[in-house]
């Protein structure tokens, strides 16, 4: 068996075998170069073109996404600003309305107080007038009663002059009493 291996070893180192190996190596290298050239022309250029187009699309998409995101954030900030302005405007309007309501309430209260005061004054005046009329009626009734009493006591008719004198006398006594504060 060693003879067979030794015999083949001699064939391996022979110039014919080495030339065959060299030719095979050259054919393999030329085939590899042709294959690389063909793959480069047929496969690599279209593939790299597709890859670059997809990369551009991805970059454009990413740029578009970033731009939309920036627009959205700008719109959100604008909306927030408008919302703050509306809240401030509503607060101002509410405060203004409350001030108007308060003014109207004060005006209504002052009018009501003025009307109530006027009614009280009118009522006091009416009471005073009624009291004066009642005092006058009571006074007249007292004078008539006095005249009637004097007429009955003396069995005579009291004349107009005496009735006037009696009326004046009672009146001056009543006025004197009012001035002194005896009558309320």
- pLDDT tens per residue, range 52-73: 999 999 999 999 899 999 999 9
Per-residue pLDDT band for 184 (boundaries 50, 70, 90) equals: very low
Question: Tokens standing for 158?
Answer: 């009291």
**Which tokens is 97 given?**
């309305």
Whose tokens are 């954030």? That residue is 73
Question: Which tokens go with 121?
Answer: 């004054």
Using one digit for the tens of pLDDT, what is the confidence trace for 138-157? 878 877 777 777 777 777 77
- Per-residue model confidence as pLDDT tens digits over 155-182: 777 777 777 777 777 777 766 566 655 4
Q: Work out the mean pLDDT of the chain and round it to a whole number.
A: 84
SS3 158: coil
Q: How much is the pTM?
A: 0.40
Q: Sorting pLDDT into bands at 50, 70 and 90, what band is 99?
A: very high
- What Rg do the C-alpha atoms of the chain give, in angstroms? 66
Query: Is the Cβ–Cβ distance between 166 and 160 less than 8 Å?
Result: no
Express each pLDDT in 114-139 by its tens digit. 999 999 999 999 999 998 888 888 87
pLDDT reported for residue 93? 95
What integer pLDDT is reported at residue 166 of this predicted model? 74
Which one-letter DSSP state was computed for residue 44? I
Interatomic CA distance for residues 157 and 150, integer angstroms: 8
Whether the Cβ atoms of residue 22 and residue 28 lie closer than 8 Å to each other: no
Residue 155: strand, helix, or coil: coil
pLDDT value, residue 179: 61
- Indicate if the pLDDT at residue 6 is higher than 60: no
Residue 169 main-chain phi, psi, to 5 deg: -65, -45
CA separation for the pair 26, 33 (Å, rounded):
10
């Amino acid at each position: 068996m060693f003879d067979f291996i030794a015999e083949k070893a001699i064939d391996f180192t022979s110039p014919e075998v080495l030339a065959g190996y060299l030719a095979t190596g050259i054919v393999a290298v030329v085939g590899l170069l042709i294959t690389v050239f063909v793959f480069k022309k047929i496969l690599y250029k279209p593939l790299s073109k597709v890859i670059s187009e997809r990369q551009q699309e991805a970059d454009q998409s990413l740029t578009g996404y970033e731009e939309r995101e920036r627009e959205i954030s700008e719109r959100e900030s604008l909306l927030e600003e408008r919302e703050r302005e509306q809240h401030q405007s509503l607060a101002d309007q509410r405060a203004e309305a409350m001030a108007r309501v308060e003014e109207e309430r004060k005006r209504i209260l002052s009018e009501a107080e003025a009307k109530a005061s006027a009614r009280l004054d009118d009522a006091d005046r009416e009471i005073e007038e009624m009291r004066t009329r009642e005092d006058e009626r009571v006074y007249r009734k007292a004078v008539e009663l006095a005249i009637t009493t004097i007429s009955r006591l003396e069995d005579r008719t009291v004349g107009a002059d005496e009735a006037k004198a009696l009326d004046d006398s009672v009146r001056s006594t009543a006025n004197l009493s009012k001035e002194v504060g005896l009558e309320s």
